[in-house]
Every structure is written in structure tokens, then in C-alpha cells.
């Protein structure tokens, strides 16, 4: 399977009604807030159902994708871990268990 790499020079705050997205990765941290609806998030080959009130934290350089469920409303924040120096080392080269 081919993945594509995204690069974000500046932090991004996005509001989306749909989050369907093919497998991809980037060097930034991604936080997604599920404001409404349900979806599936796949990260490192494991799929997780998410719904209203859930927050998703995607570590840098982890292949991830989204499958829309129903009536989705999300907020996304994508940023370089270096913006929070106290946490940058915690994210460098690590993956969640």
C-alpha cells in the first residue's frame, strides 16, 4: 500500500464536517476532537471507533486514516511538537502502546 506524506510548515486548525482520508503520515502531532457523529480512525494498523466527545491524538510519523461514520463534525489541530519544547522529546521517535 502506498502512503503519502503531508507537511505543515505552520500549525493548522481545521473544522470539518467530513474526515474521510486515505492512509497518510506527517511529522506533526494531530489532535482531533469529535464534536458530533461517529467515525473510525486507523493508526498503525489498528482501527478504533470514535464518537462525539472523543479526542484522538496521532503521534508524528504514524500512518493513519479516517473513515466517516454519520453526521460528523470535527475540530483538528495539527502542529510541530517543537512548539511545546517540554513535550517535544516525548514525541520524538516514540509511538503510543
Q: Is-contact 64 50, C-beta < 8 A?
A: no
Q: What is the pLDDT of residue 68?
A: 74
pTM: 0.80
> What residues does 85 pair with on adjacent strands?
none
- 3 pLDDT exceeds 60? no
DSSP, residue by residue, 5-42: E---SS-EEEEES---EEEEE-SSEEEEEEEESEEEEE
**51 compared with 7, residue with greater pLDDT:** 51
Return mean pLDDT, the chain: 82
Q: What is the pLDDT of residue 17?
A: 66
Nearest to 40 by CA among 20, 25, 59, 13: 20
Q: What is the pLDDT of residues 8-63, one digit of tens each?
A: 667 777 766 666 788 888 888 899 899 999 999 999 889 999 999 999 999 888 99
Amino acid at each position: 500500500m502506498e502512503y503519502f506524506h503531508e507537511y505543515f510548515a505552520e500549525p493548522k486548525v481545521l473544522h470539518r464536517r467530513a474526515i474521510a482520508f486515505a492512509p497518510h503520515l506527517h511529522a506533526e502531532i494531530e489532535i482531533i476532537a469529535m464534536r458530533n457523529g461517529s467515525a473510525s480512525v486507523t493508526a498503525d494498523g489498528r482501527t478504533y471507533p470514535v464518537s462525539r466527545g472523543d479526542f484522538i491524538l496521532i503521534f508524528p510519523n504514524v500512518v493513519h486514516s479516517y473513515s466517516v461514520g454519520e453526521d460528523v463534525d470535527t475540530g483538528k489541530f495539527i502542529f510541530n511538537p517543537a512548539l511545546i519544547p517540554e513535550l517535544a522529546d516525548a514525541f520524538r521517535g516514540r509511538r503510543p502502546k
